[in-house]
Structure 1
Amino acid sequence: MATPIGAIPEDLQGRVWVSTTDGISRLEPGSGVFKHYTAKDGLPGGSYFVGSAARGPDGQLHFGGVNGLSSFLPDGIRDNPYPPLVRITDFLVANKPHPLPGPVGSIGQITLSHRESAFSLEFAGLHYAAPASNRYSYRLEGFDEAWVDTDATKRFASYTNLDPGNYVFRVRASNKDGVWSEAPAALTITVTPPWWKTWWFRLLATALLASLGVAAYRLRVRALVQQKGMLERQVGARTAELVLQKDAAERRKREAEQLGEAADRGRRNIALLSDIGRRLTANLDTEAIMTTLYEHVRC
């Protein structure tokens, strides 16, 4: 919703001043910078009347409002040059105060376990000219990629489930006129890893895995050697069996050849005897043989 405007006078420097129902604002036409002033800056507060504004011969501006007349020299309105002194005021883990060896703003470093990786930090800007208008900017180096801006209603930063490692929390503050503190408050935070993520456990696990790998390799080599020996024995046994079978086959072959040769010799002998018999029979006296047979038959 737009704020109702009462009057828009211009000062001798060309700056535009705007009265509203919520104070007076200044606009720099050249740069576009806009600054708003309220009762916190010394104005009487309340609304200003429509058209109730004038500039005096000396350049003084006058605004009429429900609480009286506001008059001032524009050149006399200066920003507060003093930045606030920023301090970290509290450190909480799981929304509970964390025991520390001293004030959190002076110890400089905090070490947390991996179970304490959810924490909050509270801070404040020590500047009491309109402290509700102070602004803050914070960053957790190692986690936040950029600065995070906030106002006086949220003077804390919360982080959850951070990875183990080293972090630096920095916070700076500005007063109501936008003057920032030069040196931010800083706190180094170390989150230790669980035992299974420590370097010594990883080294031990690596050594154990390497030992298991070597043992597995040796067992594999031993199994292969045993398998090779078994295969060699099986091949030797099979080879011996084949040699025996070959010898038996050659022996049977020789026996068969010998039997064949004996059979050939027998057949040759029979043929020779038959031939001799035929020759003998051809030379015998047939009549004498018939007579002898007759005699034997008659007897």
Structure 2
Amino acid sequence: MSINEVSTVTEITGRTRVLGILAHPTEHVKAPPGINRIAMVRGKDAVMVPLNVAPADLDSFVASLRVLKSFDGAIITVPHKQAIIGLCDEVSPHALAVGAANVLRREPDGRLVGDQLDGIGFVEGLRHQGIEVKGRRIYLVGAGGAANAIAFALADAGVARLTLANRTTDKIETLAAKLHAAYPSLDVFIGSRDPRGSDLVINGTTLGMNASDPLPLDTTHLEPEMIVAEVIMEPEITPLLQAARDAGCRTHLGRHMLDHQLQLMANFLGL
């Protein structure tokens, strides 16, 4: 029986292990059904539920997780990926380099361990769709947790050039400096809203989740030979992807990143 053939409805018992997806808001999250299917396929008595926590309440909420003995861990998403780093007892070297974590595991003694799987999942999602990033010229918008993770994963995969763009320059300059330190031979540039000269254009921001959001880049400069990729999963076709389709570009959906993270996340969470 495949994961997709398994119902996500399960019976909650007194022994059920609790997992969460920590976000604010939670209406857009897509991971729980996939994680719950994986739990059922693996025969685990566990369930993932949404945890809607405002940034102002994050510290106190995370502290409470240490004493919640039925809690095994969580996926961390917007806007908590960077703040969660300082609330963990242990963080992987990769998450520290990126400056953001997207998974959190509670150890039996209450210690909280964080890791970062965003970038790995994104690059694997591209590869599964026949898009190899090695040797490519990449344009990446964003300087938050997801964008940082994707930038490091792209560098690790051997891209030829990485152009970084963001609405403000301070965070992007910090990201560029971290990449230079970790990958001295990588060509890293700070760009504008103009993506021309790139093979692959990636939106690593949340711009596009709301109908009122501005476009993350100047779509008038998209060219048919470009591939345009999203990290946003809801809506599936963002204004950027629609503009890319209108320009004749190949598009890559945000859900592919999640699809290739789920198994990694399930393993990390002990399923």
In terms of fraction of residues, the more strand-rich structure is 1
> Under TM normalisation by the shorter chain, which class is it?
under 0.3
- Whose RCO is larger (CA < 8 A, sep 6+)? 2
